[in-house]
A and B are shown apart, each in its own frame.
Chain A
Amino acid sequence: QSVLTQPPSVSGAPGQRVTISCTGSSSDIGAGYDVHWYQQLPRTAPKLVIYANNNRPSGVPDRFSGSQSGTSASLAITGLQAEDEADYYCQSYDSSLSAWVFGGGTKLTVL
């Protein structure tokens, strides 16, 4: 069981907006640790798409955005495209475990 909780799956039609939640606790997100998001396309390594809650690395479309509030964070993708179909993971740090932690992952399906 992962420290950070994500929905197993979300879906949306092309052009629509989807959000993926990431729920933590007072020892990770709630303690002020930044949240990062990774996209993993099938059979490839994860790729950073959002860092420090709401920043996009160079080359990531502005359709991707992030937010954080309290013990939770969210990844939003607008104008869904077929190429966005992938697994998405949130990541932070947990001070009670002294460990870097991931969410269980969310599979995004573009209908």
Chain B
Amino acid sequence: QVQLVESGRGVVQPGRSLRLSCAASGFTFSSYDMHWVRQAPGKGLEWVAVISYDGSKKYYADSVKGRFTISRDNSKNTLYLQMNSLRADDTAVYYCVKEENSGYYSVDPFDYWGQGTLVTVSS
């Protein structure tokens, strides 16, 4: 079965960096686009970034553009999110999300989500 397991949670000071990882299993990781979605405490879902199946295309939300970098290692079935210049409003649970990628739809759904990892930015 599909499993997405995030790691890298922690408390970090404003302005510092943190890297999240997501270990994927149960599907052909190298065939699917992958996303990061975050949820601030008590708030709704916010899309963060996407990377294409082969890593050639990357897109970011305006709120993280220039500070966060999404990447993947298909040989290790792992997705990453490098977060630099962290701010208090980056505090959230970060979810690793698989896109369905059937190609049938104008926008494919997010069919599997990890359990999430909490990032707290605080001095």
Contact = CB atoms under 8 A, between A and B. Distances in A.
Contacts of B45: 38, 40, 46, 89, 91, 102, 105
B44 interface: yes
Contact of B44 (A36, A52, A89, A100): A89
A45 B39 CA distance: 10
Contacts of B109: 34, 36, 48, 51-52, 91
A44 to B, nearest CB: 8
Contact of A36 (B35, B110, B114): B110
A59 B45 CA distance: 23
Contacts of B116: 45
Interface string A1-38: 01000000000000000000000000000001110101
A87 to B, nearest CB: 8
Contacts of A51: 100, 105, 109, 111
Interface string B87-106: 00000000100001000111
B105 A104 contact: no
Size bracket, chain B contacts: 20 to 34
Contacts of A38: 45, 110
Interface secondary structure of A, over-half rule: strand
A105 B44 contact: yes
Contact of A102 (B46, B62, B100): B46
Contacts of A45: 95, 113-116
Interface of A: 2, 32-34, 36, 38, 40, 45-48, 51-52, 57, 89, 91-93, 97-105
The 6 closest A-B pairs by CB, nearest first: A51-B109, A93-B107, A45-B113, A100-B47, A105-B44, A36-B109
